[in-house]
Chains A and B, each alone.
Chain A
Amino acid sequence: MATANPIPDDSSTAEHTTADLGVFVAAMAPDQFKEVLANLEAAFSIERIVVATPNDLPADVTTRLKIVATPQSSSLWTLKPSDFIAAAQSGLEQGARAILILGPGAESLRPSALRSLAEATFASSIDLVVPNYSIPPHAGLFNSAILYPLTRAVFASRVRFPLPIDLCLSSRMAERLADAAQRIPASSPGESLLWPVNEAVAGGFTVDEVDVGARAIPQPSDQDTNSVLISIMGSLFADIEAKAALWQRPRRAQPTRRTEQEVEISDGTADVTRMVAAFRLAADNLQEIWSLVLPPNSLLMLKRCSVLNSAEFRMPDNLWARIVFDFVIAYRLRTINRGHLLGALIPLYLAWAAGHINTIASGTPAERHIEAVAAAFEADKSYLVARWRWPDRFNS
């Protein structure tokens, strides 16, 4: 984990920089912000830190940290493109050599975690440092099912959380992300997330991952989980479409995977029966849409899955990989309305999640299964490339 070595104080550049580290703290409740400030002070006792944030400094708080106000962010559960712009601007103004971005819920990150994020940038000149969170086995399923394996296969990135809530950037990486954020049209609310890892790969920047332990994962206030998931998927699929010429080049995966974090066993309250029921209902009602997107073999395998009982329910890893790839293709081809398309993927995701929970319950460690799924995505990348280049639906 984090070392005790201080971040090198490069006095030769002291007259040129105002801050060693720029920190952007996203909007959060006052008590959470207070705890973040305390953790930052503990993590960076001798460094010059400037904190840019839309949060007001609570009246009862005194801090040695310099606080700079930024415009309010529009989201309280994830980082928005405007956050990256604000972070880069602030970092540039302060002459910071690195910029640490802390998203909602960051008060749960220990000082050692904050330090390890920043140190990788300083010590190794890594452009983008992303955290590997310790989360319970039933947590972050959407990331495990789609975001991680898809990003790993497409962009050859082994970052476990490709849509991080916290990250540390070099100044040039921050500029790159700010430029990318400014190019996102305001008229595309469904595609308004930034994918830092994808941008780093596209720009040839170095990426590394550090273990930060457990973290509170903020949840969207929007009770319609489906629309949130659709929004995230749409954003990622659009990013994949935009970077098609890049990810079809062969490349070596980075970074090297680290050892897994200790995780707490959670009994969980996952309702597998409800997930499987949702899948079976969709198998009846969404067959027409699925048949526009999926080839016959996949439809046949889904039909076989639909007759499994809840306790035995599993979705084969390679089937899931093909399903996600075919939906990415259909998204690109605009086979049907994109909103309807992504909505039709949700029951399939629930089916995968049910199978994953059953797999864990049978004794397989969660991370082991997730890595197997990611490996299945990697192994079948040629299918994605081939169908991307020749989207002929007369396939198996």
Chain B
Amino acid sequence: MKKIASAADPLWYKDAIIYELHVRAFADSNNDGIGDFPGLLTKVDYLKDLGVTCIWLLPFFPSPLRDDGYDISNYTDVNPSYGTLDDFKAFLDAAHQSGMQVMIELVVNHTSDQHPWFKAARLAAPGSPERDRYVWSDTDDKYKGARVIFTDTEKSNWTWDDTAKAYYWHRFFSHQPDLNYDNPLVREEVLNAMRFWLDMGVDALRIDAIPYLCERDGTSCENLPETHAMVKRLRAAIDADYGNRLILAEANQWPADVRPYFGDGDECHMAFHFPLMPRIYMALRQEDRQPIIDIMAQTPPIPDNCQWGLFLRNHDELTLEMVTDDERDYMYFAYSADPRMRINVGIRRRLAPLVDNNRRRIELLNSLLLSFPGTPILYYGDEIGMGDNIYLGDRNGVRTPMQWTSDRNAGFSKCDPARLYFPVVMDPIYGYQAVNVEAQLSDQSSLLHWTRNMIALRKLFRVFGRGTLTFLNATNRKILAYLRELDQGDGFCETVLCVANLSRFAQPVSLDLANYAGYQPVEMLGYVPFPPIGREPYALTLAPYTFFWLELQAAIPEEESASELSTQIPRSAAGSTPAVSRPDTEV
């Protein structure tokens, strides 16, 4: 039986606060060293208190786990290490009852080579529907225009299969053969997998590796019209049978190439803004807003019912695919002095280590994340400033167990520490003894409390998720200043001026706010009125790495003073009905 949507607003994702986590990494309930759904269930309240409105789960399906679950061997079940389908449903219900939506992965560009489909395809006759679930070739000459994505481990997008006596196509690891979307069987199976989870009540689907679904010779095999046609089919199936759901495109592309994934509002509801993220780090390090301005200038408008997904970090490396070669080199120098920190075309570090654990920098970057146009996506652990372990392979250094307490195994599990799926972070700076949820909950000045307060503040104002963006290009390039505006349509217009100091030193700035002459800026965190805006440039001074969120309030016309009282209240009223109750007990 199909479950109805848990979100009442079709555009719920515009106001969402998304929290990305891995079930495996969050909480272990049965002490086998691996996080699971019953453990995650015990942490739903924590997420609700943080202010999260949508939980994004990394893949939890049956898998040989050679790519941390992105190599799927069964689309419609739960990896036994994480629990059962019933455990998932219990978590889903708990999240919904707490007012949160749930997003899961739809990894349909490829499967694991252990998926029954691939096992059958290898044995099936060439040209048969079973064989053609995947992309085969007698040579590795086809699709030469396609780049290799996992450059550290793969030399080619083709791998020879001795059983099938043919090459099979894979854009990622060789154990992840790509599905063939030219095969109607594949398209139908993907829709079935999607319906399985949506029927259960899942609110959103992140479509992994969406640009690579289809391939054609003579092209880059990315963002092809055939791929968009498939996305439209997915969207149409959702719109026909399910209300208030979401599909989020993972398309690590230039903004102009991501734009088509929104279609005319008939493809994906959301897409990650990948190119913005490294430029935020560049702007910070260079103390220059220009990288951010440039990429936003290249960002095309999107349909009104669509939304960008913004993030500072995630489960993958900090990708440097969508930057120039010089920019990539700069980022390597700036943020990954140790070559061990680099993988593929990116940097595998968490937020706090990237900025040298500087609290002000962390707050500044989060202020951008929460005030830029789009929906913010927080990576688990970044709310407490978790560190990473660059000595773990692949991108596992940013996927260590969540640090709940200073107890054994960071409170993640009661198992023998040697049994943990990955060791907890235990260095002197980021180790679990110092950095954990329990400690930060009892510390009012902690990053956790700060993040919770900022999320709550953002949720008070719809302008952040739904408003326009206008940059104010002040002379001082170390200052990033922008206006967010939203006409609510009920007579209220929210206007917020955001000013961020990208520099490690105090900075002055003068802003042209003549259009808002007569308005009064009110600093939003402390509700502090600032001097009214006049025709002259508005001067501000910012301490290192600080930011202002200033609500521009229009003056309310004066009327009779609220403190004026009517005079001469008569003292006698003969014949009036007395009150019947005792004066000292009346309410």
Which A residues are within 8 Å of any B CB, using their own CB?
108, 134-143, 152, 158, 204, 213-217, 219-220, 225, 228-229, 232, 244-245, 248-253, 256-257, 259-260, 262-266, 268-271, 275, 353, 365-368, 371-372, 374-375, 378, 382, 385-386, 389-394
Nearest CB on A from B381, distance (A):
23
A-B contacts besides A264-B572, A382-B527, 10 pairs, CB < 8 Å: A217-B581, A217-B586, A219-B581, A232-B587, A257-B566, A259-B566, A264-B578, A270-B583, A371-B563, A389-B457
B562–A378 CB distance below 8 A: yes
Contact B526 A390 (CB under 8 A): yes
By beta carbon, the residue of chain A nearest B580 is A216
Query: Contact at A386–B528, with CB atoms within 8 Å?
Result: yes
What total of A-B pairs shows CB separation below 8 Å? 143
A229 vs B587: C-alpha distance when bound (angstroms): 7
Verify B559–A252 contact, CB threshold 8 A.
yes
Question: What B residues does A215 contact at CB under 8 A?
Answer: 577
Contact A138 B584 (CB under 8 A): yes
Complex: chain A residue closest to B561, CB-CB: A375
Q: Which of B495-526 contact A (CB under 8 A)?
A: 524-526
Query: What chain A residues lie within 8 Å of B580 (beta carbons)?
Result: 216-217
In the assembled complex, the Cα of A204 lies from the Cα of B347 at a distance in Å of: 51
Q: Are B460 and A389 in contact (CB under 8 A)?
A: yes
CA distance A375 to B287 in the complex (A): 47
* Bound-complex Cα distance A390 to B449 (A): 10
Say whether A248 contacts B453, CB under 8 Å: no
Known: A108-B577, A217-B579, A389-B527. A139 touches B570 (CB 8 A): no
Whether B453 lies near A368 (C-beta < 8 A) is no
Assess whether B556 is in contact with A251, with CB atoms less than 8 Å apart: yes
Q: Which of B492, B563, B577, B584 has the most CB of A within 10 A?
A: B584
Instruction: Kindly state the separation between the CA atoms of A269 and B581 in the bound complex, as whole angstroms.
Output: 11
Q: Does B422 contact A (CB under 8 A)?
A: no
Residues of B within 8 A of A217 (CB): 579-581, 586
B585 in contact (CB, < 8 A): yes
**CB of B569 within 8 Å of the partner chain:** yes
Complexed CA–CA distance, A389 and B462 (Å)? 15
Q: How far is the CA of A390 from the CA of B557 in the complex (A)?
A: 29
Q: 1/0 contact trace for B298-311 toward A, CB 8 Å?
A: 00000000000000
Q: Which residues of A contact B525 (CB under 8 A)?
A: 386, 389-390
Task: For the complex, give the distance between the alpha carbons of A217 and B576 in Å.
Answer: 14
B449 vs chain A, min Cβ distance (A)? 8
- Asked if residues B573 and A219 are in contact (CB atoms below 8 Å), the reply is no
Closest 5 pairs between A and B when the two form their complex, measured CB to CB: A138-B583, A262-B573, A386-B527, A375-B563, A385-B527
Chain A residues closer than 8 Å to B461, beta-carbon distance: 245
Q: Is B486 an interface residue (CB 8 A)?
A: no
Given the complex, which residues of B lie within 8 Å of A365, measured CB to CB? Answer: 569
Given the complex, which residues of A lie within 8 Å of B491, measured CB to CB?
204
Given A219-B581, A259-B566; A139-B586 close (CB under 8 Å): yes
B463 CB, nearest partner CB in chain A, Å: 11
Query: Given the known A-B contacts A386-B526, A390-B525, are A244 and B572 also in contact in the complex, defined by CB atoms under 8 Å?
Result: no
Closest to B584 in A: A270
Q: A139-B579, A219-B581, A266-B579 are in contact. Are A367 and B586 (CB under 8 A)?
A: no
A262 touches B553 (CB 8 A): no
B524 to chain A, nearest CB (A): 7
How far in angstroms is the closest Cβ of chain B from A369? 10
Q: How many angstroms from the CA of A385 to the CA of B569 in the assembled complex?
A: 34
Given contacts A245-B461, A249-B492, contact A368 B569 (CB under 8 A): yes
> In the assembled complex, how far is the CB of residue A323 from the closest CB belonging to chain B, in whole angstroms?
19
Report the nearest A residue to B560, measured CB to CB: A256
Whether B578 pairs with A136 at a CB distance below 8 angstroms is yes
A269 x B582 contact (CB < 8 A): yes
> Is the CB of B230 closer than 8 A to any CB of chain A?
no
- Given A158-B562, A252-B559, the answer on whether A135 and B579 have CB atoms closer than 8 Å is yes
**Interface contact A260-B586, CB-CB below 8 Å:** no
A-B contact pairs, 17 of them (CB 8 A): A135-B579, A137-B583, A140-B587, A204-B490, A219-B585, A250-B553, A252-B557, A256-B559, A257-B560, A257-B566, A262-B572, A268-B584, A372-B563, A372-B565, A386-B526, A389-B453, A390-B526
List of A residues within 8 angstroms of B563 by Cβ: 371-372, 375, 378
Asked if A265 and B585 sit within 8 Å, CB to CB, the answer is: no
Known: A134-B576, A216-B580, A266-B579. A391 touches B453 (CB 8 A): yes
Residues of A within 8 A of B529 (CB): 382
Contact B579 A248 (CB under 8 A): no
Contacts of A158 in B (CB 8 A): 562
**Cα–Cα, bound, A4→B460 (Å):** 48
B444 CB within 8 Å of chain A: yes
Q: Look across to chain A and name the residue whose beta carbon is closest to the beta carbon of B565.
A: A371
In the complex the two chains form, what is the Cα distance from A139 to B559 in whole Å? Answer: 30
Residues in B whose Cβ lies below 8 Å from that of A108: 577
Chain A residue contacts of B7, Cβ below 8 A: none
- Partner of A263 from the list B445, B528, B570, B585 (CB cut-off 8 Å) is B570
Which residues of chain A come closer than 8 Å to B560, judged between CB atoms?
Answer: 256-257
Q: Would you give the shortest CB distance from A118 to chain B, in whole angstroms?
A: 21
Q: Is B456 an interface residue (CB 8 A)?
A: yes
B68 to A: closest C-beta gap in Å = 37
Considering only CB atoms, which chain A residue lies closest to B494 in the complex? A249
Smallest beta-carbon distance A247→chain B, Å: 10
Tell me the minimal C-beta distance from A325 to chain B in angstroms: 12
Q: Chain B nearest CB: distance from A237 CB in Å?
A: 16
Q: How far is the CA of A184 from the CA of B360 in the complex (A)?
A: 42
User: Cβ of A264 and Cβ of B583 under 8 Å apart?
Assistant: no
A-side contacts of B557, CB under 8 Å: 252
How many whole Å from A252's CB to the nearest CB in chain B? 5
Contacts of B456 in A (CB 8 A): 389
Task: Give CA–CA (A219, B579) in the complex, Å.
Answer: 11
* Bound: A260/B490 CA distance, A: 33
Knowing A214-B578, A245-B460, A250-B553 are in contact, say whether A260-B583 is a contact too (CB < 8 A): no
Nearest B-chain residue to A228, judged by Cβ: B587
The distance from the CB of B107 to the nearest CB of chain A, in whole angstroms, is 37
- Bound: A135/B583 CA distance, A: 10
Q: State whether B556 touches A262 (Cβ < 8 A).
A: no
- A262 touching B490, Cβ below 8 Å: no
Question: CB-defined interface of B445-460 with A at 8 Å, one 1/0 digit per residue?
Answer: 1000000010011011
Residues of B within 8 A of A248 (CB): 460
Q: Are B569 and A252 in contact (CB under 8 A)?
A: no
